[in-house]
Amino acid sequence: MTQNTSIGIIGSGAMGAGIAQVAAMAGHKVVLYDNNTTALDKAKKSLAATLQKLQDKGKIASADEVQQRFSFADKTGSFADCGLIIEAIIEKLEVKKAVFSDIEKVVSADCILASNTSSLSITSIAAACNKPERVMGLHFFNPAPVMALVEIIPAIQTAPGLIPGAKELMLQWGKTPVIAKDTPGFIVNRVARPFYGEAIRILEEGIADIPTIDWAMTEIGGFRMGPFTLMDYIGHDVNYVVTETVFQSFFYDPRYKPSFSQKRLLEAGWLGRKSGKGFYNYAEGTTMPDPTKDLVLGTRIFERILAMLINEAVDALYLGVASVNDLETAMTKGVNYPKGLLQWCNEWGVDKCLEKLDSLYHEYHEDRYRASTLLRKQAVGNKKFV
């Protein structure tokens, strides 16, 4: 794939339009497709406005020049000359499989097909195609023009030679690529689950309220956003669904168990910032609640969540989901963690992390708190990961 490769994008929502912008700004001709002409027209106007703002700020030389690289299509036949198609539509496996099967009928024999799915099986999507060896995952993070990380996920059918080419293309686009095994949630959406799930568990147990948990993770832990603020920002229609998908895909492993607290928000339509209400109320004139700034309590909260996050990263390494470097890069570039979790484990002490997890397991007797085999091995002699 070179700069002369035409890129096709399926889906003109925020994610699809964002990826289209990235590709066009990297010099590619881009076909943005959506069968909803209203959505397509909205994306066209939004992209034009965004590019003009970038020109006004001196970020690009000419908005018109980039705009001319776009074509907008409501027919899949427009993909005939594309060398790479990236799908960015609803997170429903059967829908994605049907789309890939249809797209394969109109593209060239050597066109590469990629899914932007955040948690679904690339292998299953590839199985819907006559040439599954041309299918891979390219998972961008929202907003795509801003977020550096891209997870590259080969299916078990993916031709090995495609992965180095995809990595090089992402580097040309100014992105930071990491390679992830085709397991539920890949790297980020797997390893980050305790940041949300354990925070909700602490809330449901009555240990601390929402603002206090957020305060502990930002002020003591150094995270940019607390878990409840972040869930409201992402939207519960997205965050809860990813949690539920990962839970089901891991054969109902209790480590990934969703919460009724978040499910009820989704059922009520309280999706977070986008709806004006979630864990917090964002209505105009509303005063945000104050946290209880108890350092002992805050440290207890932070260390419990951090131990769970570290354990998830260690287990991902143990099971070959990604390399040490890619795990660290994914969590710092994909969700802006203050530092890589394996580095954090080294600084904190493997033995301390294991002690914290074993204490939780002893208290609850739940598999949710089982320590990774690799963490237990590293604790012998307090070995370091990086």
- Strand, coil or helix: what is 91? coil
| Closest alpha carbon to 103 in 121, 120, 88, 118 | 88
Mean pLDDT calculated for residue range 140-162: 97
336 and 322 in contact (C-beta within 8 Å)? no
Mean pLDDT calculated for residue range 66-73: 97
pLDDT level of residue 381 (50, 70, 90 thresholds):
confident
Q: Cα angle at 276 between 275 and 279, to 5 degrees?
A: 100
Q: In this structure, which topology does domain 7-179 adopt according to CATH?
A: Rossmann fold (3.40.50)
Return the pLDDT at 6: 96
Return the pLDDT at 382: 84
Q: Which of 116, 121, 139, 239 is catalytic?
A: 139
| Closest alpha carbon to 145 in 332, 15, 3, 5 | 15
Q: Which of 189, 239, 311, 372 is catalytic?
A: 189
Domain spanning 190-379: which CATH class is it, in words? mainly alpha
Return the pLDDT at 74: 95
pLDDT level of residue 318 (50, 70, 90 thresholds):
very high
**Residue 323 annotated among the catalytic residues of the structure:** no
All structural domains of the chain with their residue ranges:
7-179, 190-379
pLDDT level of residue 1 (50, 70, 90 thresholds):
low
**Residue 325 annotated among the catalytic residues of the structure:** no
Mean pLDDT calculated for residue range 162-172: 97
Residues 6+ apart with CB under 8 A from 140: 15, 18, 19, 22, 88, 116, 147, 149, 150, 175
Mean pLDDT calculated for residue range 29-35: 97
Return the pLDDT at 253: 96
Mean pLDDT calculated for residue range 291-311: 98
Mean pLDDT calculated for residue range 178-188: 97
Q: Which of 151, 198, 312, 328 is catalytic?
A: 151
Q: What percent of the chain has pLDDT over 70?
A: 99
Q: Other C-beta atoms within 10 Å of 371: how many?
A: 21
pLDDT level of residue 386 (50, 70, 90 thresholds):
confident
**Residue 281 annotated among the catalytic residues of the structure:** no
Mean pLDDT calculated for residue range 137-148: 96
Mean pLDDT calculated for residue range 73-78: 95
pLDDT for residue 279 is more than 70: yes
Q: Which of 115, 116, 118, 311 is catalytic?
A: 118
Which pLDDT tens digit goes with each residue over 225-236? 999 999 999 999
**Residue 139 annotated among the catalytic residues of the structure:** yes
| Closest alpha carbon to 116 in 140, 85, 96 | 140
Mean pLDDT calculated for residue range 2-8: 86
Please tell me which residue, 91 or 3, carries the higher pLDDT value. Answer: 91
Residue 158 Ramachandran class (φ > 0 left, ψ -120 to 50 alpha, else beta)? beta
Torsions phi, psi of 146, nearest 5?
-100, -45
Return the pLDDT at 316: 98
Mean pLDDT calculated for residue range 135-153: 97
Which pLDDT tens digit goes with each residue over 358-375? 999 999 999 999 999 999
Tokens of 183: 């397991």
Whether cis (ω within 30° of 0) applies to the bond prior to 143 is yes
- Strand, coil or helix: what is 152? strand
